[in-house]
C-alpha cells in the first residue's frame, strides 16, 4: 500500500470515528430534549408545539390509536444509522422503527 492509499484509509477511519462520536453526542443531547412519554403535551414545549401535539393526539385518538408518543430528535436524525435511531427512540429493534415526520408551516410577517 502506498502512502496515498494509507492516507485515504486513515482519513476514512477518522471520518467514521468522528461520525460515530457525533451520533453519540446527538443521542446524549436528545436524552435532554423535552420528550413526550404520553399523549398529553409537555409544559416545557413551546406553545406552537403544544398545540401541534394536542391536535395530532386528537386525530390519532379519534382514529382509534391510543398508544403513541411524540419524540423530538436532532436535525440530522435521518442521516444516522438505523441502530443509532433505534437507541435514541428506545425501540426494541430497527424493525420497530417507522418514519413519521410532523412539519408545521408558519407564516412570517415582516
Task: Look at residue 110 and tell me if it is in a domain.
Answer: no
Q: pTM score > 0.95 for this model?
A: no
Write down the pLDDT at residue 105.
67
Query: Is 108 among the domain residues?
Result: no
Q: Is residue 91 part of a domain?
A: yes
In 10 A of CB 26, how many CB atoms? Answer: 19
Domain membership flag for residue 106: no
Question: What digits encode the pLDDT tens for the residues 38-90?
Answer: 444 444 555 567 888 888 889 889 888 888 888 888 888 889 999 999 988 88
Q: Return all residues near 19 (Cβ < 8 A) that are at least 6 apart.
A: none
At residue 21, the pLDDT reads 80
Domain presence at residue 107: no
What distance in Å separates the CA atoms of residue 29 and residue 54, rounded to the nearest whole number?
25
In a domain, 102, yes or no: no
Closest CA to 27 of 87, 75, 69: 87
Q: Is residue 62 part of a domain?
A: yes
pLDDT value for 37: 42
Q: In total, how many domains does the chain have?
A: 1
CB atoms within 10 A of CB 106: 5
Q: Which domain holds residue 70?
A: 3-96
Amino acid at each position: 500500500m502506498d502512502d496515498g492509499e494509507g492516507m485515504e484509509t486513515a482519513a476514512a477511519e477518522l471520518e467514521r470515528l468522528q461520525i460515530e462520536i457525533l451520533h453519540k453526542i446527538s443521542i446524549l443531547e436528545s436524552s435532554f430534549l423535552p420528550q413526550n412519554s404520553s399523549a398529553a403535551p409537555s409544559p416545557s414545549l413551546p406553545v406552537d408545539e403544544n398545540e401541534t401535539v394536542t391536535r395530532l393526539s386528537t386525530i390519532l385518538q379519534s382514529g382509534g390509536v391510543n398508544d403513541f408518543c411524540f419524540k423530538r430528535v436532532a436535525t440530522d436524525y435521518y442521516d444516522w444509522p438505523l441502530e443509532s435511531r433505534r437507541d435514541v427512540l428506545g425501540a426494541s429493534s430497527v424493525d420497530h422503527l417507522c418514519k413519521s415526520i410532523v412539519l408545521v408551516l408558519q407564516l412570517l410577517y415582516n
